[in-house]
Amino acid sequence: MKTFQTNGPFADNYKFLIGSIIPRPIAVISTRNIDGSNNLAPFSFFTAISAQPMIVAFCPMIRTSTGEFKDTVRNILREKEFVVNFCTENNYEKINLASTELLYGQDEFIFAGLTPLDSNIVKAKRVKESPIHFECEFRDMLCYGKTPGSGSIITGEVKLVHIEESIMQDGKIITDLFKAVGRGAGNDWFKTDSRFEMERLTKAQIQK
């Protein structure tokens, strides 16, 4: 087994992270630019935090090319809101395009060919091609550094959830219908169509 220190270049640690923590779900975050145009970007450092209140988190890093916050972060700190959209087999190529580093104010919905939908309570738009949308109010931001590759946690309280009826049965989201797509190392992506089921053991079964 090889052992590595983590005090070297951030790019080495980044490779350890994206190779080890897989598959990663992808939050496609939409925000509003200062001129009212739309911003959209995928983030695979993304997770659920709390069910009530309903809180999710994603982790933008300082942009390598400029040493600045990404546009998503600038917008969330100013507008205090965002929408989480989801990456699926039906939209992943467009979502990948939305990760392009455009100039601030250039609309990634237009660039990627995605359709903006009005939200109910936040100003940021939803992505029509995503079957689930979370309308979020910004809650907290924790920053771990100011240099390229340094990350932050941004949490949002999900105030409204929109789910396409076609991916639901008996009030639940069905994995095979959702067709979520995740991220791996390098240019690897994952489909979620190779799943298996296993009963969770009850306390009584574990003690036997």
Ligand X SMILES: Cc1cc2nc3c(=O)[nH]c(=O)nc-3n(C[C@H](O)[C@H](O)[C@H](O)COP(=O)(O)O)c2cc1C
Residues in contact with ligand X by CB under 6 A are 26, 39, 41-45, 59-61, 70-72, 96, 99, 101, 183
**Which residues of 19-62 form beta strands (DSSP E)?**
27-32, 38-43, 46-50, 55-58
CB of 33 to ligand X, least distance (A): 9
CB of 82 to ligand X, least distance (A): 10
What are 181's two structure tokens?
């797509």
What are 119's two structure tokens?
């939200």
The residue among 17 and 168 lying less far from ligand X, judged by its C-beta, is: 17
The residue among 106 and 117 lying less far from ligand X, judged by its C-beta, is: 106
CB of 7 to ligand X, least distance (A): 21
Distance between CA atoms of residues 79 and 194, nearest Å: 39
CB of 96 to ligand X, least distance (A): 5
CB of 124 to ligand X, least distance (A): 12
What backbone torsions phi and psi does residue 172 show, to the nearest 5 degrees? -120, 150
CB of 66 to ligand X, least distance (A): 10
The residue among 171 and 186 lying less far from ligand X, judged by its C-beta, is: 186
**Which residues of the chain form beta strands (DSSP E)?**
27-32, 38-43, 46-50, 55-58, 81-86, 116-117, 126-127, 132-143, 152-163, 168-169, 172-173, 181-183, 189-191
Cis bond before residue 53 (omega within 30° of 0): yes
**CB distance 99 to 39 below 8 Å:** no
**CB distance 75 to 141 below 8 Å:** no
The residue among 72 and 85 lying less far from ligand X, judged by its C-beta, is: 72
Helix (H, G, I), strand (E, B) or coil at 177: helix
Cis bond before residue 42 (omega within 30° of 0): no
The residue among 100 and 120 lying less far from ligand X, judged by its C-beta, is: 100
The residue among 148 and 168 lying less far from ligand X, judged by its C-beta, is: 148
